[in-house]
């Protein structure tokens, strides 16, 4: 039936008075049906960010070598060659779905063992190399941080090297063996990621033949004690340093 008060003429009288309700209503319902699951998905889904995994570090720790240079003043000076510095190769894999930016290195000193001098016996392609200098007065639990700049793509790998040295005073003949925990900072993460523990001798590994004696005496005794203590430290070490521990009978 039509409303007697309806003043519309002809076929218009058979249409709903509010045509917008008929047209817009189903559209609103459809948008609600599609939008609710999308909103729920947005609230519950997690960002598949980077996921970094580290292999055991590879350590190279040769005997220390020096090179001589002439200063602007005309005086001669010596310094350790880059090739004889302790080197720690870091190998990382990003198994995540988004690339990651490696922004810094954190080196934490766990043990410091001085080795006193005693006669003549005291002595995938890499993408980048970074120098890390251990302070002279460093103590266990101290950290050294250096900025680095590496990018690892999603499902990619990277290799880079830390060249580790020690700030040395003039006429300082003592060697030091360090146990170091290595970590890297990435993206905007608060906590660094552990990449391994190493044992290195600075400025270089001692000579193995110095320890091939069955009856150490004199100044050899504190040297043997210090290196024997270092041999018990856990951590990756170079073949050169391991040969020293083996010669001592502690490896």
Q: Over the stretch 10-37, which tens digit does the pLDDT of each residue have? A: 555 555 565 555 555 555 555 455 454 4
Q: What is the mean pLDDT of residues 64-85?
A: 74
Q: What is the mean pLDDT of residues 45-69?
A: 82
pLDDT band at 121 (very low <50, low <70, confident <90, very high): very low
pTM of the model: 0.72
Burial 133-153 (b: 16+ CB within 10 A, else e): ebeeebeeeeebeeebebebe
pLDDT reading at 3 higher than 60: no
Q: Over the stretch 186-237, which tens digit does the pLDDT of each residue have? A: 998 999 999 999 999 998 998 888 888 878 888 889 999 999 999 999 999 9
3-state SS assignment for residue 133: strand
pLDDT reading at 155 higher than 80: yes
Contact, 49 vs 99, CB < 8 A?
no
pLDDT reading at 89 higher than 90: yes
3-state SS assignment for residue 42: helix
pLDDT band at 167 (very low <50, low <70, confident <90, very high): confident
Residue 171 contacts by C-beta under 8 Å, 6 or more apart in sequence?
Answer: none
Contact, 168 vs 136, CB < 8 A?
yes
Q: pLDDT: is 238 or 81 the higher one?
A: 238
What pLDDT does residue 251 have? 41
Contact, 227 vs 221, CB < 8 A?
no
What pLDDT does residue 107 have? 95
Half-sphere exposure (Cβ direction) of 205: Cα atoms closer than 13 Å: 26
Phi-psi region of 10 (alpha: psi -120 to 50; beta: other; left: phi over 0): left
């Amino acid at each position: 039936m039509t409303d007697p008060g309806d003043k519309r003429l002809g076929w218009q009288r058979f249409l709903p008075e509010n045509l917008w309700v008929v047209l817009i209503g189903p559209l609103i319902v459809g948008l609600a049906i599609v939008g609710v699951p999308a909103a729920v998905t947005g609230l519950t889904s997690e960002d598949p960010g980077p996921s970094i995994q580290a292999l055991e570090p590879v350590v190279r720790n040769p005997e220390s070598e020096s090179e001589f240079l002439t200063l602007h003043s005309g005086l001669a000076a010596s310094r350790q060659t880059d090739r004889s510095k302790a080197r720690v190769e870091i190998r990382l894999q990003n198994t995540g779905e988004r690339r990651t930016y490696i922004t810094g290195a954190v080196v934490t000193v766990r043990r410091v063992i001085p080795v006193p001098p005693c006669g003549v016996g005291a002595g995938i392609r890499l993408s980048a190399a970074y120098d890390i200098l251990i302070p002279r007065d460093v103590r266990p639990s101290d950290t050294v941080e250096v900025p680095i700049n590496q990018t690892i793509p999603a499902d990619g790998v990277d290799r880079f090297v830390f060249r580790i040295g020690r700030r040395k005073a003039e006429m300082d003949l003592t060697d030091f063996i360090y146990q170091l925990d290595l970590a890297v900072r990435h993206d905007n993460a608060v906590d660094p990621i552990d990449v391994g523990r190493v044992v290195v001798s600075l400025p270089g590994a001692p000579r193995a033949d110095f320890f091939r004696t069955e009856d150490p005496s004199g100044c050899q005794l504190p040297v043997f004690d210090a290196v024997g203590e270092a041999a018990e430290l856990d951590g990756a070490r170079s073949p050169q340093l391991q040969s020293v521990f083996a010669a001592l009978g502690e490896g």
